[in-house]
Amino acid sequence: RVPLGWNVPIYQKIAAEPGNFALLELPIRPFGDYMAYQTIHGKPIIGGYLARQPPYPLLSENDAVKYLLDTTPPDDPVAAKIKNGIGLQSLRDLGVKYVIIRWWAFTADQRTAMEIKLADLLARPPDLTYPADQVDVWQLSP
């Protein structure tokens, strides 16, 4: 069986796009899958997985990334710092062009929290949805 998300067409689209830009894949957890998907699209990713996970300061230094962590509740004070396009611009400043979420990786409570966070941060519905794979995609304009 092919893993969920492996055949999601967004990766072929991203692979065909010129330029150097990054993907933010959610949830932000040490999933080796993200690096497997990277073999298709060939672009940098935020996160990833190593057998011995080193410190990753970006997770605590960038307010938008910190807000999207499972451990940050939607009502955390950092929420005020990412609204009104501020968090979105900070992702763009990191070179992020796509935010891709795998809903199958969340419990019901985690999903509810993440839906609130994405509404605060991105303030719009996803650009692409792949219901069979439970994947949503937002493309961030420059």
The pLDDT tens digits for 98-124 are 999 999 999 999 999 999 999 999 999
Distances (CA, A) of 69 to 27, 61, 62, 66, 72: 7, 12, 11, 5, 5
Whole-angstrom Cα distance, residue 111 to residue 106?
Answer: 5
E strand or H helix at 129: strand 128-130
Q: Which two tokens stand for residue 50?
A: 């190593």
CA angle 65, 83, 30 (to 5 degrees): 15
Q: What is the pTM of this model?
A: 0.87
Q: Which two tokens stand for residue 70?
A: 């499972």
Over 50: is that where the pLDDT of 140 sits? yes
